[in-house]
Chain A
């Protein structure tokens, strides 16, 4: 090996020295510097103009799949139910719907020319909820929406940061303009939703116990802080209709809840609104920005969050939400690519055309098959994108749309990994990094995949991995720095993005420990 290494080093140096470098400084300056000095910018080579045509929105405990722009009116070539949304977990998006070769459309929508959005309500897990807080006049302030979950590991929100609340380690995450706090009490998970910038929930006052594997856990509340009372008792889960809406590249999420509408947490002041005859509320006082609308529909409470800060726009979106039944939701239609005359009314069934699809993480994964055709490894390195899945997500420390880690097997038994930063539309991939292994990798207790990221002005370092032993979190230790603790999701994956420069010490952890629920180290890897 040493001989070939020496030979290779010499060879590369020779090749590098042989390169004839042409200075093009003036050309670089000419592209950007003011016209009074230089000429106009030349077109970029190889640039591809992508236009968003499909958007994935991850709401509060919900997965939302937006589909393509409707241009045609051809009946679908085939109706293929593909995805049982009841089984969709927040971290497993139905990949087929993300690929431009097959998109989903719902025939109840008739606003031709817009982007069609549909929103799954994936979480039917038994749970119970209650609202605690203080009541001032007829309004509620400083409320907490508390949910007890049967599976702490499975229901824990991905990403987030561990904070100490009353001596309890609680994971804090920001979603959809609200803050989620999560911790485990034995084999029951407690999730609390608060307004952003609210105080942490009184965790020592909240306890839970599991009654059975199928029934919702029981929540009990002990001594609450002064002025706080139980405002609404526990409620169980139920089925819900499926909301769909037409929109244009606006990041929105919709969730159907089984709370009473007045139990929906709306931070600060809100205005009463009418949503197609149903009572609702709208609030723009979200620290994370955006607007939230809550209203009732057929006995269910619907919550819509959008990035717009204009309440009228959000209310208009809420009024345009259509609800479909399960069969309609499950129906999938193959994409057509021919332009058809625009119908005057919505057909019973519709065909969609995806124009200039955005580069999705799955597309980037597919592009990882970079072995030239004819090469011995070409077949083994092929990335099987039909089996791609999002295994972990992480918040953007700068408030962006966040990061996603996607994996897909390769035909040779290896795995392709991609960590991508979502673009502002919340769906398309704003670049990404990763690699593909053509052959199976040896199993390790802790697999680490990270250290890369972005430099200034918004430095960020990604750390992700998979833990093959039963553990609740990992502690990543960097030389000379404070360790960072990251929760592990139900599938054993972890992902976090630190606001640090990848050229610094946070790019090179020296060890990673996996901890169980009690904080005991169950596995360690030295890097």
Chain B
């Protein structure tokens, strides 16, 4: 059963995809530690957006949440199967610090890691992070503080 899209609708989705896909994959990769899984999550989220393309008034916001939820589910599946997170290949200098940060990030619970990424990669304020994650703003601060403390300990 196919989805009937007009040529204009398909064209507009192509534009939307071009604007959003790249950064969503990068964000998902930071959340998941795996480029492969990140592509899968964003792919599925894009499919859901396309499925609702004719009715979504704010597809960007919908995609944002769909990717985050998809990352959460993916992280859960990884946890359930007791697989360790794939770490991204080191970039830039050969210094050891990035690896240590990767280790700490990979060990954080999903919501904690998401809070860190949303704060320090997307520069979102606490209230927005709490809204996106569906948690109390106070929790966001606690999670981030705990993560920073771990990183400092790991670096010293």
Which A residues are closer than 8 A to B by beta carbons?
1, 4-5, 7-9, 11-25, 27-29, 31-38, 44-46, 367, 370-373, 375, 377, 381, 417, 419, 431-437, 441, 444, 447-452, 454-457, 462, 501-503, 507-508, 527
B79 touches A14 (CB 8 A): no
- Do residues A4 and B151 form an inter-chain contact, with CB atoms below 8 A? yes
Q: A16-B30, A502-B131 are in contact. Are A11 and B74 (CB under 8 A)?
A: no
Smallest Cβ-Cβ distance to B148: which chain A residue: A4
Set B62, B74, B133, B155: member contacting A433, Cβ < 8 A: B133
CB-nearest residue of chain A to B145: A1
Specify the chain B residue showing the minimal Cβ separation from A501. B58
User: Considering only CB atoms, which chain A residue lies closest to B114 in the complex?
Assistant: A435
- A15 closest partner in B (C-beta): B88
B-side residues, CB < 8 A to A, are 2-5, 10, 13-14, 17-18, 21-22, 25-27, 29-30, 35, 38-40, 43-44, 46-47, 50-52, 55-58, 61-62, 65, 69, 73-77, 79, 82, 84, 88-89, 91-92, 97-98, 101-102, 106-107, 109-111, 116-117, 120-121, 127-128, 130-139, 142-143, 148, 151-152, 155
Query: Given A9-B121, A16-B29, A19-B88, A451–B98 Cβ distance below 8 Å?
Result: no
Contacts of A448 in B (CB 8 A): 136-137
Interface of B is mostly: helix
In the assembled complex, the Cα of A21 lies from the Cα of B131 at a distance in Å of: 28
Closest residue of chain A to B4, judged by CB? A34
A28 touches B132 (CB 8 A): no
A456 touches B17 (CB 8 A): no
Chain B residues within 8 Å of A377, by CB: 109
The reply to whether B47 and A31 form a contact with Cβ atoms under 8 Å apart is: yes
**Can you name 30 A-B residue pairings with CB atoms under 8 Å?**
A1-B148, A7-B101, A11-B98, A12-B121, A15-B88, A21-B39, A25-B21, A28-B17, A29-B13, A32-B47, A33-B10, A34-B4, A34-B5, A36-B2, A44-B44, A45-B40, A367-B76, A371-B109, A372-B79, A372-B106, A433-B134, A435-B136, A449-B134, A449-B136, A451-B134, A454-B65, A456-B55, A457-B55, A501-B58, A527-B127
Chain B residues lying within 8 Å of A375, measured Cβ to Cβ, are: 107
- A4: which B residues are within 8 A, CB to CB? 148, 151-152, 155
B134 and A434 within 8 A (CB): yes
Which of B39, B77, B88, B138 has a CB less than 8 Å from the CB of A441? B138
Task: Flag if B52 contacts A29 (CB, 8 Å).
Answer: no
Closest to B109 in A: A370
Complex-state Cα separation, A367 to B57, whole angstroms: 32
Q: B25: which A residues are within 8 A, CB to CB?
A: 19, 21
CB pair A29–B43 under 8 Å, yes or no, is: no
Say whether A435 contacts B111, CB under 8 Å. Answer: yes
Q: How far is the CB of B31 from chain A (nearest CB, A)?
A: 10
B62 near A456 with CB under 8 A, answer: yes
Hey, which chain B residues are within 8 Å of A24, CB to CB?
39, 43
